[in-house]
Structure 1
Amino acid sequence: MPIHITIPRLLSKPIRQRLIESDKIIILYGPRQVGKTTLVRELINTLPYRSLNVNTDEAMYESVLSGRDLAQMKLLVEGYELLFIDEAQRIPDIGINLKILHDALPALKIIATGSSSFELANRTKEALTGRTWTYELFPISLGELRQQQNAFLLQQRLEELLRFGSYPDTLQLANAADKAQYLRELSSAYLYKDVLEMASIRHADKLRKLLRLLAFQVGSEVSLNELGNTLGMSKDTVNTYIDLLEKAFVVFRLSGFSRNLRKEISKMDKIYFYDLGIRNVLIDNFQPLDLRTDVGALWENFLVVERQKRNAYMGQFANTYFWRTYTGAELDYVEEADGQLTGYEFKFSRKLAKAPASWIATYPDAGFDVINQDNYLSFLL
């Protein structure tokens, strides 16, 4: 049985402030099922505005909001102070239509959600330049769990998060079997939906095989040539598929950090999953950590994605990379923020490690830290 506990979202407060204080359109991106609709509906309930919630599956709304007919759009929103369009990427020409509506009725509050940045960005970016505030909602972050649980309880949940990820519904389910079944259904129902809709991909089976290969290579540099050879596709097609998977919030890339030194590797990327439950369902492995051989990869993916969530929600912009030399020296993660460069080594065990000599020699002003089970909460919170 699901345990129905509302987990407050860290984006609620800043989005609420924007809605109250700004006349710009709010756009909220994020994977399917991470709680975008729930967040917006709960927000709307706390605001004094008369709101129109548009379901983009209903044809009457689609025809009005894609028709570039200001008179019809004015009729639609007459008497309302706030317009909420859920899954806005489904509406053709949504960007230009929102521009027309916003320019004609600047006092109307507008918030739109989308589960694929590709479609919504393509259809809004150019038309809405300077008219939007954009946010990205992730699966539940450690920072959001921290609002309800102390450090001890978070430590107790670590294995669960590494095995089953942090989708809101996954966290609400009480046992491992239910979590695994939910993730299987979620991955088959949603994982490729946006990607297949976004591009005319003929080989859905190859898309799944590609994801499975990427799931096995978390924490390693990915060769597009090798993936292409394995899948019988060109390197460029593989790159296009990965790009689409990024725009549907399934995976994201880290590039190699380099100041253009010959000894530094920077041509191949590492690829991580937005959610470890999705990663584990692709390789069909939900085993306990003490029975696994991929704990290091899970730990690395967990720390990288949780750090990305932390930075995004705190409004801290950072360029993020990994670092490796041809001689084998490496750092799992590198951040460049506010002029400061810091390298990190990730250890699931409580071992300590020294910074590689070549890192210190090449970047004497850079910081270095080892992130393990003793200090990861301060790194992520």
Structure 2
Amino acid sequence: MIVVAGPRQVGKSTLVRRVLEGYPSAFVAADQPLTELDPFAEGLEGVSTSFGIPGESPTADWLIQHWTQARAKARGLPEEQSFVLAIDEVQKVPRWSEVVKGLWDADRAAGLNLHVILLGSSPWLMQKGLTESLAGRYELIPMTHWSYPEMQVAFDLSLDEYLYFGGYPGSAKLIREEPRWRSYIRGALVHPNIEKDILQMTRVDKPALLKNLFELGCSYSGQIISYTKLMGQLQDAGNTVTLAHYLNLLTQAGLLTGLSKYAGEQHRQRSSSPKLNALNTALISALSGYSFAEARADRSHWGRLVESAVGAHLCNTATDNCQVQYWRESPDEVDFVLNDGRRLLAIEVKSGTTYATPKGLGVFSGKYRQARQLIVGEGGIALPEFLAHPAGHWLE
């Protein structure tokens, strides 16, 4: 099986639909209410076309019936052809991984030429099912927020526009109408991510706290802030364990992450204050109240956007074996630290027009002599060039 997983609105469904054009295939979505009949089943004798009670959410029976219809289609094709079944938002089907495992294993035993693509926008639920039931049966293709070169080629965004409006392809056509653009980001991206993907799919005892943490985290993107300070600014904040758990949920949803401090010892990293970083700068801009022109005019705010864009790019493109962290031993600080277990890279972001050697890089390199240094911006790698390569490229 092929598994395509990633945040909402990054083009997973569009990509798969385009790939399937011209192939014998069916694309079904588990996030749509049930209908009485499905046109995909027309002409299939002996195959049930009932999908449950109209208006209700898809069930395991819904999944089984679509799979059964795909089998019938596959059997009707010549031997040299295969049929492809793509299931969008599969994690919304109860017990989906157990059902898929049984169906997939039965098809392999029968030698049926049926290919399956699973898509999902709740990575933690996808991962749970994949590791518990489908181990060894799938190849994962992760999709994430669009990079600057992708947005530039597809929508002709300038660097400044990308830094402010971010990497959501669906919102690009609205950037000339900023009020509509903000409404789209909030209504079509933030709200569904939190209300549908997190609150409906996993247990959250304090949903208001989760929403407030996301909004506060976006305002603090690019800054190191202790959980204690976060608790002081959030109502009904509970304890640090709750905040850390909610921050992890926001990370898995592709919204906001908290980078840990590089310290060499694992226990010191776990207990460190997080450096908050929005995973798409559109989230910062949509909630900030700054217009594009106002954001560019405020050097302090623009500098945080630049640093957040670098952090988001690193987090979105880092592979599983590459950690993105920060380092600070007051008063010295390094914006980002990349570590793959063998190599260590300290990165400093310079968004101003004047250049001075960052003291933190020298202090860090003196403490960790195997570390290499990289400056992004004035006096170093140009920001467009940096954003054109994944995190691992800079470790090589």
- TM-score with structure 1 setting the length: 0.80
Q: Deviations over 1:164-204 (max 9, x none)?
A: 21211222235042323322322453231211112343544
Q: Which residue identity is paired with 2:283?
A: I
Shift of 1:141: 1.1
Alpha-carbon separation, structure 2, partners of 1:187 and 1:292:
28
Q: CA deviation at 1:84?
A: 0.3
Deviations 1:108-157 (A, max 9, x none): 211111111122222332101111112222222123245569xxx76xx1
The CA distance in 2 between the partners of 1:163 and 1:78, in whole Å, is 49
Distance 1:352 1:44, change over 3 A: farther
- Does the 8 Å CA contact 2:70/2:85 hold for their aligned counterparts? no
Which structure exhibits the higher relative contact order, with contacts defined as CA atoms closer than 8 Å and separated by 6 or more residues?
1
**Which residue matches 1:169?**
170
Structure 1 residue 206 corresponds to structure 2 residue 180: no
Distance 1:220 1:124, change over 3 A: same
Q: CA distance change for structure 1 residues 284 and 103 in 2, over 3 Å: closer, same or farther?
A: same
Q: From 118, 121, 135, give the equivalent of 2:127.
A: 121
Q: Following superposition of structure 1 onto structure 2, how do residues 130-149 of structure 1 map, counting pairs within 5 Å?
A: 130-145=136-151, 147=153
**Hey, what's the Cα distance between the residues in 2 that align with 1:116 and 1:263?**
30
1:280 aligned counterpart, secondary structure: helix
Structure-to-structure mapping, 1:8-87, within 5 angstroms: 25-45=1-21, 48=23, 50-56=24-30, 57-59=32-34, 60=51, 66-67=60-61, 73-80=67-74, 81-87=83-89
Specify the SS of the correspondent of 1:52: strand
Q: Which residue identity is paired with 1:172?
A: K
Please tell me whether the aligned partners of residues 30 and 136 of structure 1 are also in contact (alpha carbons under 8 angstroms): yes
**1:233 and 2:250 matched:** no
Distance in 2, matches of 1:171 and 1:159, equals 13
Fraction of identical pairs, as percent? 24
Structure with higher Rg: it is 2
Letter in 2 for 1:273: A
Q: 2:266, 2:96 → 1: CA distance?
A: 45
Residue matched to 2:161? 160
Aligned residues of 1:88 and 1:112 also touching (Cα < 8 A):
yes
Q: Amino acid of the residue matched to residue 303 of structure 1?
A: V
Larger deviation: 60-69 or 353-362? 60-69
Count of residue pairs the alignment pairs up: 346
User: Match of 2:45?
Assistant: none
Structure 2: which 5+ runs fail to align?
35-50, 75-82, 389-396
1:293 paired to 2:267: no
Q: Measure, in 2, the Cα distance between the counterparts of 1:130 and 1:115.
A: 21
Does residue 329 (structure 1) correspond to residue 303 (structure 2)? The answer is: no
**TM-score, scaled to structure 2:** 0.78
How far apart, in 2, do the equivalents of 1:94 and 1:352 lie?
Answer: 55
Give 1:206 shift.
Answer: 2.6
Q: How far is the alpha carbon of 1:293 from its aligned partner?
A: 3.2
Question: How far 1:285 sits from its partner (Å)?
Answer: 2.8
Give the whole-Å Cα distance in 2 for the aligned partners of 1:340 and 1:85. Answer: 39
CA distance in 2 between counterparts of 1:93 and 1:40 reads 24
Alignment map for 1:264-283 (pairs within 5 Å) = 267-283=272-288
**Are 1:353 and 2:354 an aligned pair?**
no
